[in-house]
Structure 1
Amino acid sequence: MSVKAVLHSEWMKIRTLRSLLLALLGGLVATAGISAVASATYDGKESDFDPVFYSFFGLPFGQIAAVCFGVLAVANEYTGGGIRVWLAAVPRRGLYYGCKLTVVGLCALAVGLVTGFVSLLSGQALLGDEGVGPGAQGALRAAVGCGIYLALLTVLAAGVAAVLRSSVGALALVVPVVSFLSPVFGATSATRFLPDQAGQQVLHATPEGPLGAWTGLGVLALYTAVAVFCGRLAVERRDS
Structure 2
Amino acid sequence: MSETVAAIRAEFTKLRGIRSTFVALLLFVPVSVLIAALGGWSAKGAIESDSPSLRSDFTPEQAGLDGILYGQLALIVFGVLIVSSEYASGMMRVSLLAVPRRGRLYTAKMTVTALAAAAIAIPVIVVSYLVTQIALGSHGASIDASGVPRALAGAVVYLMLMSLFAAGVAAMARSAVLPLAVLLPMVLAGTQILSVIGATKEVARYFPDQAGMRMLTVDSHDAYGGFAVLLVWTVAALAAGYLRHRRWDG
Same fold (TM over 0.5): yes
Q: By how many angstroms is 1:184 displaced?
A: 2.2
Shift of 1:168: 0.7
For the residue of structure 2 that corresponds to 1:180, the secondary structure is: helix
Note the C-alpha offset of 1:40.
Answer: 1.5
Which stretches of structure 1, 4 residues or longer, exceed 6 Å deviation after superposition?
none
1:201 equivalent among 209, 214, 217: 214
Q: Secondary structure at the match of 1:190?
A: helix
Cα distance in structure 2, aligned partners of 1:86 and 1:182: 36
Match of 2:137 in 1: 128
* Matched length: 237
- The answer to whether the Cα contact below 8 Å between 2:168 and 2:241 also exists between their aligned partners in 1 is yes
Confirm whether residue 12 of structure 1 aligns to residue 22 of structure 2: no
1:177 positional shift: 2.6
Match of 1:80 in 2: 89
SS of structure 1 residue aligned to 2:20: helix
Structure 2: stretches of 5+ with no match in the other structure: 48-53
1:184-208: per-residue Cα shift (whole Å, max 9, x none)? 223322212221111111222212x
1:183 & 1:103 partners in 2: Cα distance? 30
- Alignment partner, residue 34 of structure 1: 35
- Taking the aligned partners of 2:162 and 2:248, their CA distance within structure 1 comes to 24
Q: How many Å separate the matches in 1 of 2:57 and 2:182?
A: 33
Tell me the residue number matched to 1:217.
227
Unaligned runs of 5+ in 1: none
Q: Find the aligned partners of 2:191 and 2:89 in 1 and give their Cα distance.
A: 36
**In 1, Cα distance between the equivalents of 2:59 and 2:202?**
21
In 2, Cα distance between the equivalents of 1:143 and 1:217? 14
CA 1:80–1:122: 2 relative to 1, 3 Å: closer
What letter is aligned with 1:224?
Answer: T
Name the CA distance, whole Å, in 2 between partners of 1:222 and 1:54: 28
Aligned match of 2:186: 177
How far has the Cα of 1:144 moved from its partner? 1.6
Q: How many Å separate the matches in 2 of 1:199 and 1:52? A: 18
Cα displacement (A) at 1:36: 1.2
Superimposed CA distance per residue, residues 63-96 of structure 1 (whole angstroms, 9 cap, x where no aligned partner): 1111110111000001132211111111100000
Q: Percent identity?
A: 37
Q: Does 1:56 align with 2:56?
A: no
Q: Deviations over 1:180-237 (max 9, x none)?
A: 2223223322212221111111222212xxx611221221111111000001111112
TM-score (normalizing by structure 1): 0.93
CA distance in 1, matches of 2:123, 2:150: 13
The 10-residue stretch of structure 1 (156-165 or 118-127) with the greater mean CA deviation from structure 2: 118-127
Q: In the alignment, is residue 237 of structure 1 matched against residue 250 of structure 2?
A: no
2:229 aligned with 1:228, yes or no?
A: no
In the superposition, relative to structure 1, how do residues 4 and 128 fare at CA in structure 2: closer, same or farther (>3 Å)? Answer: same
The AA in structure 2 aligned to 1:199 is: G
Q: Residue 106 of structure 1: CA displacement? A: 0.6
The letter of the residue matching 1:165 is: R
Tell me the distance in 1 between the aligned counterparts of 2:98 and 2:163. 25
How far off its partner does 1:124 sit? Answer: 1.6
